[in-house]
Chains A and B, each alone.
Chain A
Amino acid sequence: MKFARIIFANLLRKKVRLLLTIGSFAVALFLFAFLYVVNDAFQRGADVAGADRLVIINRTSIINPLPLADRDKILRIPGVKVITHNNWFGAIYKDEKNFFPQFVIDPENQRQVFSELIVPEDQWNAFLKDRQGAIVGARTAERFGWKIGDRVPLISTIWGGGNWEFNVDGIYHGKRPQDDDTQFWLQWDYFQEHVPAGIKGQVGWYVLRLDSPDDAVRVSKAIDAEFANSPFETKTETESAFAASWVKQFGNIKFLIITIGTVVFLTLLLVTGNTMAISVRERTPELAVFKAIGYSDRAVLFFVLAESLIIALIGGTIGLLLSVGAVPALAKGLNGLLPPLVLSPSTLVLGLILAILVGLISGMLPGLTAMHMRVVNALRRV
């Protein structure tokens, strides 16, 4: 394009300022990508939740148990297809920083309820025959270098303490990239053998699968009504609602992230807007010459917006490329504290669109000023 030389010559006239402005965009877009994937990781529980799954916890709190005996009563409620139960195991592998979630599972029904987490048949059969067996999520197995047949010692911090040992009988994979493949599953029977007598026969929570997602409200009400005024009242909600309320325990993460993101982009807008305004003000007589020799008002606006857009695109692309490299490293550093951090192509596209918008808005005001300036007045400012 024949005007490209003019645009790039103007862009390069103050190289330090150009680099700093591009740097502002790069930092802002890097932060955007980082905040977005963290928020996404927190919210993903709700997104990946099965639409036909309900979670039942003790009405008082999730740390209060429910009796295993309730299972059959729940199963009799019309609309319930299959039910399983879990307990939080919460043990330590060698060091506290080696965190990964461990669940006591009901081997009979776990796979029917969580059908998106795939365990090869032979490995599952080996697990069923092994009371000390464990099924490990692929990411956790990779993280610690565990293979099938390895023996894994865990130190319990909740269930009477002591050392527990498990045999890795299988490794599961999620069907989708966003599925949580960090869990460690152990057998209900083995767990029951070793916990103190007072808490035997108590589950942490139930998860059930419905005949139809349309039954969710009716079945939830029926379950809670069944146990109303009992010593173990229940709170039943869809898995997505449960995941959302779980995230809320950390505070309103989404609000926090949106607020930080908004502040970052408003600051960026002010920085680039100011830079473009200074740049245009410095060049007022030159822009007046362009208009005097026949360049239209729109052409002058185009020059200013093009500069602003190029800065936004270069800075935004650098920031997003940095995030492509940094997010996996960050995910590794978090050691499974958060669900998988996934930087999707749609996040990158969204980031680029935001960069373009900020570039356009920040260039618009000085561009319009240049567009509407009177040549005669501007030439007097030489």
Chain B
Amino acid sequence: MVKVDGSGGQSSLVQVRDLDKTYRRGGEDIDVLQGLNLDVEAGEFVAFMGPSGSGKSTLLNLLGGLDVPTRGHITVAGDEITHMSGGKLTEWRARHVGFIFQMYNLIPVLTAFQNVELPLLLTKLSKAERRSHVETALGVVGLTDRMHHFPRQLSGGQEQRVTIARAIVSDPTFLLCDEPTGDLDRKSADDVMALIEELVGKYHKTVLMVTHDPVVAARAHSILHLEKGVLVEGKHASQLTGAGGAA
């Protein structure tokens, strides 16, 4: 179970303790996160919600090692990442994190295959092994037949599925999704969410997702709200389904 009171045990895959993040803007300190605690078990699917500027993306960036906290600790799969050097953090990201961005962020001059292959170029895998991994990942997202297409030749939903394939191809410890459906129509959003659910259900991936959309959030096992710099538990997915159905 997801916990936000700091009572989780050492078995948690993600463990966040007393996390502060303060930005300095226009000579003024802005406290975005204040003493935040979080425990996530492996295989969980957690959605973070909250108004704009509440710190959802900041939390995701901290969990993914893209940003460093002002205070506090983050431990993922036993690795304390808050005190890692830049180089170590980069290596850690390559091994443990799969990112899925709102704007897909594919490299436009590379094909779907080549985009998915990017994380594997950092490994010692042979060309044949890389090819096998990429084809498997593209198979999971249902885009084997589009592997030689460039991003401009794909729909928004297909681009996001390529991003998901790129995120899972190196079999990371967890996936971080920042508004994964924010740029998609409802049908494509449903398809992408079904895929993410499949990654959790069938492949036992741990997914932490930021979203504004309650319908999308309702697909998660747990929903956490960011309020005044700390996480509070929201309605469970099953409770939201009814509301989501009306939305």
Interface positions of A (Cβ within 8 A of B):
2-3, 5-6, 9-10, 12-13, 285-286, 288-297, 374-376, 379, 382
Stretch at the interface among B4-12, B34-42, B118-126, B204-212: B118-126
Q: Which of B101, B108, B114, B121 contacts A13 (CB 8 A)?
A: B108
- B window 63-103: CB within 8 A of A: 64, 66-67, 86-87, 90-91, 93-95, 99, 101, 103
Is A9 in contact with B109, judged by CB distance below 8 angstroms?
yes
Given contacts A292-B64, A297-B90, 8 further A-B contacts (CB under 8 A): A2-B127, A6-B107, A9-B110, A12-B109, A293-B99, A296-B90, A379-B66, A382-B105
CB <8 Å contact, A295 and B122: yes
22 pairs, A vs B, C-beta closer than 8 Å? A2-B127, A5-B110, A5-B114, A6-B110, A9-B109, A10-B109, A13-B108, A286-B107, A286-B108, A292-B64, A293-B93, A293-B118, A294-B91, A294-B93, A295-B94, A296-B90, A296-B91, A297-B87, A374-B67, A375-B66, A379-B66, A382-B103
Q: How far is the CA of A244 from the CA of B101 in the complex (A)?
A: 68
Q: How far is the CB of A191 from chain B (nearest CB, A)?
A: 74
Query: Which residue on chain B has the smallest CB distance to residue A289?
Result: B105
Q: In the complex, what's the smallest C-beta–C-beta distance from A258 to chain B, in angstroms?
A: 41
Residues of B within 8 A of A13 (CB): 108-109
CB distance from A302 to the nearest CB of B (A): 13
A376–B91 CB distance below 8 A: no
Q: For the complex, what is the distance from the CA of A13 to the CA of B94, rounded to whole Å?
A: 26
Q: How many A-B residue pairs have CB under 8 A?
A: 67
Chain B interface (Cβ within 8 Å of chain A)? 61, 64, 66-67, 86-87, 90-91, 93-95, 99, 101, 103, 105, 107-110, 114, 118-119, 121-122, 127, 166
Q: How far is the CA of A379 from the CA of B110 in the complex (A)?
A: 19
Q: Which of A3, A286, A376 contacts B105 (CB 8 A)?
A: A286
Which residues of B sit under 8 angstroms from A2, Cβ to Cβ? 121, 127
> What residue in chain A is nearest B61 (Cβ atoms)?
A376
Cα A274 to Cα B109 in complex, Å, equals 22
B122 lies within 8 A of A294 (CB): yes
Q: Which residues of B contact A291 (CB under 8 A)?
A: 90
- Nearest CB of chain A from residue B25's CB, rounded to whole Å: 13
Task: Tell me whether A294 and B67 are in contact (CB under 8 A).
Answer: no
Our pick among A9, A12, A286, A293 for the contact of B166 (Cβ within 8 Å) is A293
Query: Cβ of A375: which chain B residues have Cβ within 8 Å of it?
Result: 66
Distance of A289 Cα from B67 Cα, bound (Å) = 14
Closest to A296 in B: B90
* Chain B minimum-CB-distance residue to A8: B109
Q: What are the residues of chain A within 8 A of B66 when measuring CB–CB? A: 292, 375-376, 379
Q: Are A295 and B110 in contact (CB under 8 A)?
A: no
Contacting residues, chain B, for A382 (C-beta < 8 A):
101, 103, 105
Residue ID in chain B nearest A287 by CB atoms = B107
Chain B nearest CB from A247 CB (Å) reads 52
Cα distance A293–B66 in the bound complex, in angstroms? 10
Chain A residues with CB below 8 A from B122, complex form = 294-295
CA distance A128 to B109 in the complex (A): 77
Query: CB distance B94 to A294 under 8 Å?
Result: yes
Q: Which residues of B contact A3 (CB under 8 A)?
A: 121
- Chain A to chain B: the 6 pairs with minimum beta-carbon distance, closest first: A294-B94, A9-B109, A382-B103, A289-B105, A13-B109, A375-B66
Distance A382 CA – B94 CA, assembled complex (angstroms): 22
Q: How far is the CA of A290 from the CA of B90 in the complex (A)?
A: 10
Give the CA-CA distance A288 to B61 in the complex, in Å: 13
What is the bound-complex CA distance between A13 and B152, given in angstroms?
Answer: 13
- Chain B residues contacting A289 (CB-CB under 8 Å) are 99, 101, 105, 107
* Complex Cα–Cα for A292 and B90 (A): 7
Find the A residue at minimum CB distance from B114. Answer: A5
Contacts of A288 in B (CB 8 A): 105
* Bound Cα distance A377, B103 (Å): 15
Set B86, B90, B107, B109: member contacting A294, Cβ < 8 A: B90
